[in-house]
A = this chain, B = another copy of it.
């Protein structure tokens, strides 16, 4: 087996274990010893796979930012009503929270522990995503699909109404991702709608 391939796998394992720890304890409270224990290694051995603690956080944050922006790209070019576009984005957030452990760390609170220049770069990506989300909401207000709310308020309410899932959702639960999409999406779209 080529060394590069083996390293890749181990690096992925480390990243996933780190994402779990960052979610449970937060980035600053997670030590490299904690992480090493989680992957059955000594702390020093982690450095054969990664170059620093922050690199892990950086990879998680930027990897997910790119994913969210890629979906945004698709949604913008989608045919259909604004309601359908916003639902597609809500679905993305809900699916991501219930399926992808590494994502929650990034879009919740841990990105703020990045140091410069990564912090500014990440904030710019995030601002870009939020701005494009808000533009879609504004389009819905102009077209009359949504009622005349303050776009920034609507954006943040939607955005965060979906943030509790990451530490509440357990795959064993009887509530599925589909039910969440229907009920959370339904509640919010009904709230935004005109009638």
Residue numbers of A with Cβ under 8 A of B are 25-26, 28-29, 109, 112-113, 149-150, 152-154, 156-157, 159-165, 168, 175, 179-180, 183-184, 186-193
Contact = CB atoms under 8 A, between A and B. Distances in A.
Given A25-B112, A153-B179, A153-B184, 6 more contacts: A28-B28, A149-B183, A157-B164, A159-B164, A163-B163, A187-B191
A168 B156 contact: yes
B192 A187 contact: yes
B163 A180 contact: no
A156 B188 CA distance: 13
Contact of A160 (B29, B113, B154, B163): B163
Contact of A157 (B150, B184, B193): B184
A91 to B, nearest CB: 15
A113 B25 CA distance: 8
Contacts of A113: 26, 29
13 contacts: A26-B26, A29-B113, A149-B186, A153-B179, A153-B184, A154-B183, A157-B164, A157-B184, A160-B162, A161-B161, A187-B191, A190-B193, A191-B192
A188 B156 CA distance: 13
B157 A161 contact: yes
A152 B150 CA distance: 27
B150 A26 contact: no
A119 to B, nearest CB: 12
A159 to B, nearest CB: 7
A148 B159 CA distance: 23
A136 B57 CA distance: 40
A192 B188 CA distance: 9
A160 B161 CA distance: 5
A186 B148 CA distance: 12
A164 B175 contact: no
Nearest to A154: B187
